[in-house]
Amino acid sequence: MVTIPLSSRRHLVELVPRSIEGICEEALAVTRTFDWVKGINVPDLTRLVHRSDVVAMALAAHHMVAIPHLRVCDHSASSLLALIGTLQAAGVESVLLISGDGAGKGTHCVAAIRLVAHAYPSLKVYAAFDPYRQAMSDENQYADQKLDAGAHGLFTQPFFDLDLAQSVLTRFGSVPLYMGVSPVLTPKSKAYWESVNKVPFPDSFEPTLDWNTRFTAEMLQVSESMGQQVYIMPIRCEVMGFLSGVSLQLGHVLQ
């Protein structure tokens, strides 16, 4: 068991927005039950009816912290600024700008960050960091470009190796970071992460609930020790059950 006194309301949980009512109920349950969760990270999935901006505004209406992912490839400069203005007026205080992988009007990510950060200086604009898509030196340089353009901080792809995570925490120690972590509970899921996302799993990895809850607790510990935050992506598992397992690993008593 990892026993550490987590700071209150620092971390995020990513929830898939299958319905507005469903995600609002789930988000309320998560933030009320786990005193170390401050808000919800909202992915933008084009296959779903409800896009991240609409969901984030619904969560903000319930006075919850919500950080939507926005695919800049789907927007022109003017439409992106208009969307950001609508979000901010609805009470959304942070956004994560990602390039996106589809065809669209194609505002470049670094340019989009510079544009939004200049137009909305009170908004916290986050950028993505992926330690697997290219050489780490190149990814570090790409992240530096985003930060120089005005990004407030970085959201990383999920980590499965504490040594790799610590290297990123050290490299960007003065930058607000949300370190990603996601349970991988089957050999098939592991194979997907390896083939699609190019993730090199450590030899110690096990596709079990115990390994994943313990690793998540350790990521929370390491991140907190360096003044940083975590966001948890409980993909393909029951959210409340997984977070309860993490809390038990942390030695926390549920509210």
Angle between helices 109-119 and 77-89 (to 10 degrees): 50
**SS3 category, 185:** coil
124-129 and 11-14 strand pairing: unpaired
65-71 and 37-42 strand pairing: parallel
Q: In the structure, what pLDDT confidence band is assigned to residue 250 with cuts at 50, 70 and 90? A: confident
CA-CA distance, 200 to 203, in Å (whole number)?
Answer: 9
pLDDT tens across 85-109, in order?
999 999 999 999 999 865 445 568 9
Q: Are 114 and 145 in contact (CB under 8 A)?
A: no
Span 40-63, average pLDDT: 94
Span 30-51, average pLDDT: 93
pLDDT tens across 119-137, in order?
999 999 999 999 999 999 9
pLDDT of residue 6: 63
pLDDT of residue 252: 64
Residue range 11-250 forms a domain whose CATH class is alpha beta
CA-CA distance, 91 to 112, in Å (whole number)?
Answer: 21
**pTM score of the predicted model:** 0.92
CA-CA distance, 213 to 202, in Å (whole number)?
Answer: 16
Asked whether residue 2 carries a pLDDT value surpassing 50, the answer given is no
